[in-house]
Structure 1
Amino acid sequence: MSDRTEFLHPDFEPGEFDRIERELRRSLTQESGRMRPTDRLDTILHEAHRAGPVTATGGTGMRRWLAPAAAAAVVAAIAGGVWLSNQDPTATPGPPAGSPSATVPAPTATGPSVTDQPTTAPTQTSSPTTSPNSGPGVVMTFPAYFVGPVGGSTPTYKLFREFIRQEVAADPTPADKVTVALTLAMNAQPYSNTDGYLQPWSGTTVTAATVANDVIEVRLSGPGAEGFTPEVQRLAVQQLVWTAEAAVGRGPLPVRFEIEGGATKLFGSISTDQSFTRPSADESWKDLAPIWVTAPSRDQVLPSASPVTVKGEASVFEATVGWELTRGTTSVKTGNAMATIGAPSRGTYSFSLGTLAPGTYTVKVYEASAKDGSIAAEDSVTFTVK
C-alpha cells in the first residue's frame, strides 16, 4: 500500500493523509496525556512567528497539517492558563444563589443596631431622587422613621419605625444608603390612610448626602411643609436624624442639614446652624412612640402549624402592656404582658398567641391609662395565617 493510499487503511482515522501525520497524531496523543498546563502562549507565538507565515503550498512555511497542531497547542496553553487562574486560593467566593437580601440594621434606643428585624417588609416602588452608583441592582431593607399618632383621645405624635425593601445599585456607599433611606422616610403617603402618619416633608427631596467619620451632611430641596406645630416640626427633623443614623449604622453620628436656595431654617423655625442627633437611651421617649409592635411585621404571612409570637418595644408605666387579637370585628383573644423595664426607660416585650386557624388577624398592643383605664398609647399590626 503506497503512502498516498495508506490513509484508506481501517486503522487510520478520518482526515489522516499519510503515515507521518499518523505518527505525529500518536505522539501528540501520548504527550498530551503527560501535559501539565502552564502559561506558554508567548513562547508558542514567538516560535510560530520565527518559523514564518503559514502557507498552503510549501515554501518556507509550515505544512498545512502543522497549522491545526499549532492552533491546538495555543488553545491548550490558553486553557491551561485559564484553569490555573481559576484556582486562586485567595479568591473570595460569591454569595450562593438565592442568598438573603442585604439589610441595613436600624438603631434602637440602647445601641446602634437591631437584631430583631422582621422577615418581611413592605416595598416602595418610588425611585430615590438621587440614585446610588450604577450597576446591577440588589434589594436592601431600610429602617425608615415616620411621625405618627400614638393613640388616645389627645392627639400626640411620636416616631414609628417601618422596615422598607428597596432595590438599589450594587455596593451602595454610606451616602447612597442615607439618600435612599431618607427618600423613603420622607414619603409617608403609603401609610397615611392606614396609620395616620403625617407628611411634613411633602414636596421636599434629598438632593445630596455625604458621610464622613464624624458627621452626616444632608442637602434638602426645601425647608419642609407648612402648617405643623412646633413639636411636629421637631419630630420631623428627628425623623430624618434617626433614619440617616440607622442607614449608616454607626450609632448617634451627628447630622447637619443644608437647604438649597439659601434658606437657613427648617420649617422656617429650626436653624440649620447646628448638628442634630438622637437622644440618649434614657431619653428616647422624647422621640419614639411608647409602643412598637416589631413582630409579626406588617402584612406578614405565617404558617398555621407554628405558634405566633408577638414582639415589640415599650416605654410604659410599670412596664405593663395589654393586648387584643381580632379577626375582622371579632375579638379572638386578650391578655397582658410585661416589658423588661418600665418608663421612662425603653424595654422589650414578647408573648405568644398560640397556633391560629388560617385567616387574617390584627394584634393591638396598648397602654391603659392609670387614671381611667382608657387607651393612652397603642400600636397594631395586621398579619395572615395560612
Structure 2
Amino acid sequence: MSQPDDELSRVLHDAVADVRPRGSYDDIRSRTDKVVPMKSRWILPTLAVAAVMAVVVAGAFWLTSDDTTPSPSGTPTQGTSSPQPTDGATGGATSRRAVPVYFVGDSSHGPKLYREFQAKDTCDTDACLLKAATVTALSGTPQDADYTAPWPDGTGLRNVAYDGDALTIDLVGDLHDRPAGMSQADAELAVQQLIYSAQAGLGKGRVPVQLLLDGKHSDTVLGVPASEPLAAGNPDDVEALVQVDAPAEGSTVSSPFTVTGRAATFEANVVWELKQGDTVAKKGFTTAQECCTLSPYSFQVTAPPGTYTLVVHDTDESGQNLPVDQDTKQITVQ
C-alpha cells in the first residue's frame, strides 16, 4: 500500500460510528421507498428556534464521525498553492486531511446520499475543513464513478461561515429556480447533499444552514424554499442504507485489509463479495453494531494480488427476489 493510502486508511478506520433512532426493518423499507420531499418541517421558523434545535438535535442524533472528522497523519507540508485553491486552503501551512463530502448515488430505493472522504491539502483550521467540504460538494468530482455531483455547472461558493449558532453558505450562480431537467426531488436532495457536507466539514453537529445567493437572502434555491435556515433531513430518508467508507474507490491495499462502513439492515446482517468480473473470489458476512439503523460495521479480507470489485450489501428477507442496497469499490490488492 502506498503511503497516502496508508494515511487515509488509518484516518478513516474509526470514522464510521453513527447514532441513529431505532426502527424496525419494515419501518426502514417503508420510509425509504422514495426520497422524501423537503417539507416545511425542515425549515426552522425562526433563528431563535434554529439555535435551540441545533443544540438539541446535535446532542442526540448527529453522526459521530461528522462531529470529529479526523485529519490524515503525517508531517504537514508548506502550501504553495494559488490564492484561490479549490480544496479550501487559504495559503500558509497545509497538511493532508480527510475531507468528508456527500454525493448522490442510486440505491434500491432511488437516489440517496453516499459519503466519501477525499484526501486534500488544506490548512489545519476548522474553517479550512468547512470550506474544503463545501467547495467539494458544490463543484468537486466524486472518486467513485457510481456517484454524481448534483449541483449545476457554474455553481460557486462566495463564502461559508459559522457564527456559533448557524452555518451560512453564500452561493454564486443562476440558482434561484430549478434548472430544466432537474426534478423537485433531485433539487431537494441536492440541497440536502450540500447541508450534509457542510455540517460534516464543520463537525459541530446538525446546526441550521442558511443559504444565500450572491450575498442576499433568497426565497428559493434550486426552487427549494430557503428563506429560513434549513435543517438536515432524516438520515433514513436521504442516506443510502449500505455504504463503504474504506477502502476508497481506486485504492491500492495490502492483504489482509480492513473494510469499514455503515449499514442499516435487517438483523444487522451485512454480506460482502470480492469479485473479478463475474467470478466471486472471496465472500463472507459480518454484522453492523445495531439492527435497522445506520451503524458501523468492519471486517477483514485476505486475498491474493489482483484487481477486484468489492461489493457490500444487505439481504432480501422477503423471499421475492427484491433488489438489495449495496455499495461497490474498485480496489487493487498488492
Q: TM-score, normalised by structure 2?
A: 0.70
1:365 maps onto 2:330 in alignment? no
Superposed counterparts of 1:1-386, under 5 Å: 109-110=18-19, 111-114=62-65, 128=85, 132-150=89-107, 152=108, 156-168=110-122, 170-172=123-125, 174=127, 176-187=128-139, 189-191=141-143, 194-222=145-173, 223=175, 226=179, 227-260=181-214, 263-268=218-223, 270-279=224-233, 283-304=234-255, 307-343=256-292, 345-353=293-301, 355-371=302-318, 372-386=320-334
Verify the 8 A CA contact 2:71 2:97 in the aligned structure 1: no
Give the direction of change, closer, same or farther, for the CA distance of 1:116–1:325 in structure 2 (3 Å limit): farther
Provide, for residues 338-384 of structure 1, a one-character-per-residue CA deviation record: whole Å limited to 9, x for no partner: 222222x222222332x211111221011233332333211011222
Aligned match of 2:41: none
CA-to-aligned-CA distance 1:264-312 (integer Å, 9 cap, x gap): 31112x1221212324xxx4211211101122222222223xx233222
RMSD: 3.3
Give 1:191 shift: 4.7
Q: 1:106 to 1:323 in 2, by over 3 A?
A: closer
2:311, 2:71 → 1: CA distance?
17
User: CA separation in 1, counterparts of 2:206 and 2:93?
Assistant: 31
Distance 1:108 1:205, change over 3 A: farther
Offset from partner CA, 1:125-171 (integer Å, 9 cap, x none):
99646954332433322101111112x4x6x0111011112223x44
Structure 1 stretches lacking a partner, 5+ long: 1-99
CA distance in 2 between partners of 1:129 and 1:382 (Å): 26
**Cα distance change, pair 303–117 in 1 and its aligned pair in 2 (3 A):** farther
Q: Which residue of 2 aligns with 1:25?
A: none
Counterpart amino acid of residue 366 in structure 1: H
Contact 1:252 1:278 in 2 (8 A): yes
CA separation of 1:221 and 1:287: change in aligned 2, threshold 3 A: same
Contact 2:316–2:324 (8 Å) recurs in 1: yes
User: Distance between the aligned counterparts of 2:260 and 2:87, measured in 1?
Assistant: 35
Distance, in Å, in 2 between the alignment partners of 1:239 and 1:128 is 22
Offset, 1:112: 4.8
Distance 1:165 1:149 in 2: 24
Native 8 Å contact 1:109 1:284 kept in 2: no
Over 3 Å counting, the alpha-carbon distance change for 1:385 and 1:230 in structure 2 is same
Corresponding pairs, count? 269
Note if contact 1:145-1:160 (Cα within 8 Å) is conserved in structure 2.
yes
Distance 2:212 2:330 in 1: 38
- C-alpha contact (below 8 Å) 1:106/1:249 kept by paired residues: no
Higher relative contact order (CA 8 A, sep 6+): 2
Contact 1:140-1:165 within 8 A present in 2 as well: yes
* Matched residue SS, 1:368: coil
Q: Cα deviation per residue 1:165-196 (whole Å; 9 max; x = unaligned)?
A: 2223x44452x33222111112354457x214
Q: Deviations over 1:221-276 (max 9, x none)?
A: 132762222222222111111111111111111111001286431112x1221212
| Inter-partner Cα distance in structure 2 for 1:285 and 1:267 | 23
In the aligned structure 2, how far is the partner of 1:376 from the partner of 1:130?
Answer: 35
Contact 1:118 1:163 survives alignment (8 Å): no
Q: Which whole-Å CA distance do the structure 2 matches of 1:130 and 1:311 have between them? A: 25
Cα–Cα, structure 1 residues 314 and 198, in superposed 2: closer, same or farther, change >3 Å?
same
Q: Which amino acid aligns with 1:184?
A: T
Structure whose alpha-carbon radius of gyration is higher: 1
Q: What letter matches 1:340 in structure 2?
A: Q
Contact 1:181 1:247 in 2 (8 A): yes
Q: Any stretches of 5+ residues in structure 2 without a counterpart?
A: 1-6, 20-61, 74-80
Is the Cα–Cα contact under 8 Å of residues 365 and 378 in structure 1 kept in the other structure?
yes
